[in-house]
Amino acid sequence: MKLWIADTSPLLFLAKLDRLDLLRQAGGEILAPEAVFREIRQRRDEASHKLAEASRTWLQARAVTDRALVEVLLADLDEGEAEVLALAYELHAERVLLDDLDGRRLARRIGLTPVGTLGVLPGARQKGFLPSRRRELDRLLASGFRAHEDLVAAVLREAGEE
């Protein structure tokens, strides 16, 4: 079974778009460390409520056991991202879902495979769960998601939706 460890930002943005289903279809088992759940609980919006509902059914919280690794990662990352990488490393996760560029770079350095919110879209489109990447990308950007214009162009070019 596929195992993905998720950070706060991708979860929130997919929840804002009401597209958590894309994550469920892309991954198998989806976990998030306790720090991510604490960050989500601090919010009082519709996205956090959707994630609270997901945590009662398919999105699982998991404690990180290697606290020493978390402490090392905290030199470069915030607590949620550090716990995401530590948990993914501990559990040999297939993917790490996070948007932070520094977090993604560090994930690669320690042998993990990062995917961002935008990385969920291609697989969903190929499987027929999304009629248009452009539509979802426009919705993401309108909801406050930030991505470099070259990345946005590449995502649309790959889909033939320039």
* The pLDDT of residue 139: 85
* The pLDDT of residue 119: 82
Tell me: the pLDDT tens digits for 70-118?
999 999 999 999 999 999 999 999 999 999 999 999 999 999 999 998 8
Domain count, the chain: 2
* The pLDDT of residue 25: 77
Query: Do 136 and 101 lie in a common domain?
Result: no
Query: 22 or 13: which carries more pLDDT confidence?
Result: 13
36-50 in b/e form (b: 16+ CB < 10 A) is bbebbeeeeeebbeb
Q: Has residue 128 got a pLDDT over 70?
A: no
Query: Do 114 and 130 lie in a common domain?
Result: no
Query: Do 135 and 102 lie in a common domain?
Result: no
Q: What is the pTM of this model?
A: 0.89
Query: Do 50 and 106 lie in a common domain?
Result: yes
* The pLDDT of residue 140: 84
Q: How far is the C-alpha of 108 from the C-alpha of 114, rounded, in Å?
A: 7
Residue-range definition of the domain harbouring residue 33: 3-118
We report the CATH number of the domain holding residue 43 as 3.40.50.1010
Query: Do 85 and 143 lie in a common domain?
Result: no
User: What number is the average pLDDT over the span 138-145?
Assistant: 86
Query: Do 103 and 149 lie in a common domain?
Result: no
* The pLDDT of residue 161: 65
Query: Do 106 and 142 lie in a common domain?
Result: no
Q: How far is the C-alpha of 133 from the C-alpha of 110, rounded, in Å?
A: 30
Summary mean pLDDT of the chain = 88
